[in-house]
A and B are shown apart, each in its own frame.
Chain A
Amino acid sequence: MHGGEGRGAAGAGATTERRFDVGQLTRVEGEGSLRLRVRGGVVVEARLAIFEAPRYFERLVVGRRPDDVLDIVARICGICPVAYQMSAVHAFEALYRVDVDPAVRTLRRLLYCGEWIESHALHVYLLHAPDFLGFESVVALAQADRGAVERGLALKKTGNAIVALLGGRPIHPVSVRVGGFSRAPRPREMAALRPALEAAVEQALETVRWVAGLPTPDLRQAARLVALRHPDDYPMNEGRIVSSDGLDLPATDWEAAFREEQVEGTNALHARTLDGGAYLVGPAARVTLAGDRLHPLAAEALAATGLAEEIRVNPYRSIVARAVELVHAAAEARDIVAGYRAPETALATWRARPGTAAWATEAPRGLLFHRYEIDERGRVAEARIVPPTSQNQAAIEEALVTVAPGVLDVPEETARTRIEQLVRSYDPCISCATHFLDLTVEREP
């Protein structure tokens, strides 16, 4: 499980079926493995298997009250707890027809900006960038380019500071409640964020220039893209579910176009379109489908890279999409803080009513759908939670089938690095999807 077993070359089997293990996938959130089946030199199947121990969140919330659900679902993921709180709180408020203060809506966007900055800076600088430059970790990268790493850490710290101001702490914040916030920040507290946010915008712009110049493998793997789209805003808390092939649904109706299925050998359910197709959610999907809603500074930064089309087709370029979203989140957070006025009513009153509470928001890794059945007592009778990584699994597997033939005959260590880099470009959060990647190649005649 941890380190040790299954790492390094596992050696050749019979001449007709060769296996080699590449070991636990590192620099991802969670434990997963990868199996390739090769027949006659052709990769016929790639399977991303998730071994993260199941924690049964969809059952843990049954019988509980909506406010308690907000605390519980945050624990699905230490990297994106706000996302889980946001999809759930909007679902409950939609069912209860709660009218939240417009300033609460703005504060929720600010909270999400904080999480996007923290999560994207973590992924870009600590998890993914070392791949492009041939380093095993951010610590090794820091020895070569300490300035870059310090820039990434400063961004991450600012994202965490936003979440901590609004929610008490960066991981598992405590203030999100049905109806708003248990406490809204005072203008003076918000003002204290301004210098860090001014700096964050510059750091994020520098991040876009830096990642756009990283040596990047070529790959064309156009996937069906799915994201929220909103008439005014870059998608976070609200919008309709749209796709690159014309889908357009209310955020409550994910189940009208997608389904989940269980695949043997993995602890996460996979999501596909109803016709069985793979699709991609996350920064590349959002930048492609809602790029016209980006903050002008982010739109300008994206245009200056000239990589908008590459982001759509080359998964390795997702790091550029993530950096563009860093600019967006930092700039929007800066603007919100500059124009902040405290909500008149931080916490609206509400009455529970039975029915279906459903919503989707944009987690840092993509669309996150929740549905709860609320009973007559105002408690959860049934729950369904569909995280972004479950939705991306099929698309990751399709990209692996494309890339794998090119690495079958290269040295083991190189193959592992290249495959891992591809998987990491999807920023899989395996804790969310239910973590370690062993690469197994099975060769058949």
Chain B
Amino acid sequence: MARPRLGVVKFASCDGCQLTLLDLEDQLLGIAEQVEIVEFAEATSARSAGPYELLLVEGSVSTPEQAEAIVELRRQAAKLVTIGACATTGGIQALRVFADHDAWRASIYPHPEWIESLATATPIADHVPVDAELRGCPIDPGQLLEFLTATLLGRRPRLPDEAVCLACKRAGSVCVVVAHGEPCLGPVTRTGCGAICPAFGRGCYACFGPRETANVPGLRRSLVVLGNAPADVDERFAGFTALAPPFARAAAAGLAAAAATGGDDARR
């Protein structure tokens, strides 16, 4: 039986999610026996414009060229899977929608007219239908392996949608909200990272994005009651999944407050 054809492509991103595939050091050569890697520019000079049985897409759409390319890639892919916070929510570069994109471009490039860039950085699902997504900034190697294994076996992948808090409790970490009043977005954030931030003594910054039924207003109220400034809580949402719909309003408010002048903010 022919091995399924796997493609890995990227748009605006840091390469970290596709690197996660290469970071499966113990499984990489085994995976390469199970699938035929026909397109993965970071890893092989063999190239294919399609068709693909499985296409992993990293990054968000941030140039006119990318907006065209994703449409053709979708045509070539039997199953298109987005990997990571950029591809699923827009990523950190999506914060440009809260700002003046032309002014940003002009402030970095002396000749902004030479730079082709959109005023938005949007998730892949805004452009084409997506068959599955892996969350995270970066994605979790365990979740990637589970997804690939399930796909090859033809079963449903087990990608839990529960709050980071559950993994945090199972790990036996001290709750940073209860113990230190730290703003932590764990209650509204999807699990998958292993609850590493609380394990390292800091609050979750939502790099896996919102879980289903995330109660953002409720968490905001609770964190403010515990003594956090509302603007500080809002700014927490203005990170790697800020454009995910449940977070976007708080993120916008947090960035507006951060841009406003006045108030000594020096901490500790």
Instruction: Enumerate chain A interface residues (CB-CB to B < 8 A).
Output: 1-5, 7, 23-31, 52-56, 58-60, 63-65, 68, 71-72, 75-79, 81, 122, 126-127, 130, 136-140, 142, 146, 149-150, 153-154, 156-157, 160, 167-172, 174-175, 177, 179, 181-183, 261-262, 264-265, 267, 269, 349-353, 376-379, 417, 420, 431, 435-436
Q: A27-B44, A28-B42 are in contact. Are A168 and B200 (CB under 8 A)?
A: yes
Say yes or no: B92 contacts A72, CB within 8 Å: yes
Q: Does B172 contact A (CB under 8 A)?
A: no
Q: Does B14 contact A (CB under 8 A)?
A: yes
Say yes or no: B29 contacts A149, CB within 8 Å: yes
Name 30 A/B residue pairs within 8 A (Cβ), A-sorted.
A1-B66, A2-B73, A3-B49, A5-B49, A7-B47, A27-B41, A27-B43, A29-B15, A55-B93, A60-B95, A63-B258, A75-B14, A75-B137, A75-B240, A126-B22, A136-B45, A139-B44, A142-B29, A156-B22, A156-B23, A168-B194, A168-B199, A169-B194, A170-B23, A172-B207, A181-B200, A182-B200, A262-B111, A351-B268, A435-B15
Q: How far is the CB of A244 from chain B (nearest CB, A)?
A: 29
Once the chains are docked, how many angstroms separate the CA of A157 from the CA of B200?
21
Tell me the B25-43 residues at the A interface (CB within 8 Å): 25-26, 28-29, 32, 37, 39, 41-43
- Pair count A-B, CB < 8 A: 228
Chain B residue numbers with a CB within 8 Å of A2 are 9-10, 39, 41, 49, 69, 73
Please report whether the interface of chain A is mostly helix, strand, loop or mixed according to DSSP.
loop
Stretch touching chain A among B100-108, B145-153, B159-167, B219-227: B100-108
Contact with A along B162-189 (1 / 0, CB 8 A): 0000000000000000000000000000
Instruction: Enumerate chain B interface residues (CB-CB to A < 8 A).
Output: 9-20, 22-23, 25-26, 28-29, 32, 37, 39, 41-50, 59, 62-63, 65-66, 69, 72-73, 91-93, 95-96, 99, 104-105, 107-111, 114-115, 117, 121, 137-138, 193-194, 196-197, 199-202, 205, 207, 235, 239-240, 255, 258-259, 261-268
From B17, B19, B29, B115, give the contact of A267 (CB < 8 A): B115
A183-B201, A377-B262 given; 15 more Cβ-contact pairs under 8 Å: A2-B49, A7-B47, A30-B15, A53-B59, A54-B62, A75-B137, A76-B14, A78-B13, A137-B44, A139-B43, A156-B22, A160-B25, A262-B114, A349-B268, A377-B263
